Amino acid sequence: MPTYVYAVVLPDGSRGEHFEVIQRISEPALQEHPETGEPVVRVIQPVAFRTSTQSGTAALGGSGGGRPAVDRLTSDKGFTKYERTGDNTWTRTAGKEGPKQIHRPAEA
């Protein structure tokens, strides 16, 4: 079940104390603090994605190994990936389309 962050709504409309609640996705958002009864709002949080180097590549169809599996899947899906290799220079690390290296002249 996901963990949601809520903030107490203060009398002036600003947000006060933050707290976390584990709830089912199907449950409605809380309207008041479970202990104090104060009004609350759900705080939108950024989504955290696990990368293949954190969790292995089983979710990506591989058996571990991290970056090479991701690069292979990038190529298999028809995408090209570039990584910065120097000042204003990017080198293709996955995929077959596009130049091997991209260099952008420094701005004067």
Q: Is 44 exposed, middle or buried (0-12, 13-18, 19+ CB in 10 A)?
A: exposed
Q: Please state the pTM of the whole predicted model.
A: 0.45
Which of 20-34, 57-71, 84-98 is predicted most confidently?
20-34
Cα dihedral 63, 67, 69, 74 sign: positive
What is residue 66's predicted lDDT score, i.e. its pLDDT?
57
Do 33 and 20 contact (CB within 8 A), yes or no?
Answer: no
Same domain, 66 and 38: no
Give the range of the structural domain holding residue 18, as residue numbers without chain letter. 3-43
Is 96 within a domain? yes
* 24: its two tokens: 């089912």
- Helix, strand, coil distribution of the chain in percent, nearest 5: 15, 35, 50
Task: Note whether 37 and 61 are same-domain residues.
Answer: no
Structural domains of the chain, count: 2
Winning range, highest mean pLDDT, from 32-36, 58-62, 87-91? 32-36
- Report pLDDT digits (tens) over 65-103: 556 777 777 777 788 888 888 888 888 888 888 888 888
